[in-house]
Chain A
Amino acid sequence: MMITQTQASIIDAILILYKSLSPEDREKIKPVLFSTHGKEIDEATDDKKGIPVPLIKPFSKQFEYLSSAIEQECIMVSSPSQIAMHPYYQKIISFGKKAIPLLIKKLDNTPTYWFWALEEISGTNPVPVIHRGNIPEMIKLWKNWAKENGYEQR
């Protein structure tokens, strides 16, 4: 949906109001402000972790749906933590270790999104400080880690 200039001005006004709120009140309305473009959610949702996401089977298709949505919505985001706050990203992290082979495969095409999830799920980071931010090197190191730990996708 394209936002008009008038709508953009209204949103700016809302944000000025938002900034005038107490931290407690901001927390209350954050779920609304930070929702995913007001996207309609299917009635059948997997809501066990409080994250409303469409329930798609098999797991690999659900992963693809969630990761593709993140890639589209976050393509212009630089902040890894801003990307990680996305509800779909949180959902992927909640999948745990079964998501690791799919995340490793994602490094081939959209690597920058997935380092955070890999670290969150695995509880490790094979990238030494000297190579952080060097994306080709980070890909190589995470793929080596996956191979050594039996996570390479069959």
Chain B
Amino acid sequence: MSRDKLIERAFPKIRTHYKITSPEDYKYNCIAFAAGDTNKHWWPKALYWPEGIPSTEDLNSFIACFKSLGYEECEMNGNFEPGYEKVAIYVSPDNKPTHVSRQFADGNGLWKSKLGIYKDIEHSLDGLSGWYSYGSYGHVAIILKRKV
């Protein structure tokens, strides 16, 4: 398995339990990737944000964004459910969204993330949690799912 010291340093809990699935690419970020868009950066206020969704940098706005894509809340259930795909929204200690991961319906139950402008990886939800530095994502605040 190809290892990446930057990833392991930024997310100590991930240890070696991840797989790199794409090279570095600055054209899209985590939330765009989770929304299925690899051509843009999504983020309220400064970047692309879906029309009609409040452009505020808070959890409600992120939830509304994914609800507009057909997702619904599912009580923090991160387990793989056949026929569903899920997104998990991470927040900082002061409850600001930091990251979004996606679990694909045809996948292996693992989650996939675009790490900022860095690489895409496959990982567990807990592997990216924690708050250590500017690159940290905090903890998962909510999981949403949609039928595919």
Residues of A within 8 A of B (CB): 2-5, 7-8, 11-12, 15, 18-19, 26, 33-34, 36-37, 73-83, 86, 110-112, 115-116, 119, 132-136
Residues in A with CB closer than 8 Å to B3 are: none
Residues in A with CB closer than 8 Å to B31 are: 78
What 10 new A-B contacts, CB under 8 Å, besides A2-B9, A74-B134?
A: A73-B134, A75-B115, A75-B117, A79-B97, A79-B98, A80-B45, A81-B96, A82-B96, A135-B40, A135-B41
Instruction: Count B interface residues, CB 8 Å.
Output: 43
- Give complex CA distance A74, B131 in Å: 14
Residues of B within 8 A of A (CB): 6-10, 12-13, 15, 26-27, 29-32, 39-43, 45-49, 57, 92-94, 96-99, 114-118, 130-135
B40 touches A3 (CB 8 A): no
Which partner residue on chain B sits nearest A125 by CB separation? B46
A82 touches B92 (CB 8 A): yes
Question: With contacts A111-B26, A112-B41, A135-B26 known, is A37 near B93, CB below 8 A?
Answer: no
B12 touches A19 (CB 8 A): no
Residues in A with CB closer than 8 Å to B48 are: 132-134
Question: With contacts A5-B12, A11-B130, A75-B6 known, is A112 near B93, CB below 8 A?
Answer: no
What are 29 A-to-B residue pairs whose CB atoms are below 8 Å? Answer: A2-B12, A4-B12, A5-B13, A26-B93, A26-B94, A36-B133, A36-B134, A75-B117, A75-B135, A76-B116, A76-B118, A77-B98, A77-B134, A78-B114, A79-B57, A79-B97, A80-B45, A80-B46, A81-B57, A82-B96, A82-B98, A83-B134, A110-B26, A110-B117, A112-B26, A119-B46, A133-B43, A133-B48, A135-B27
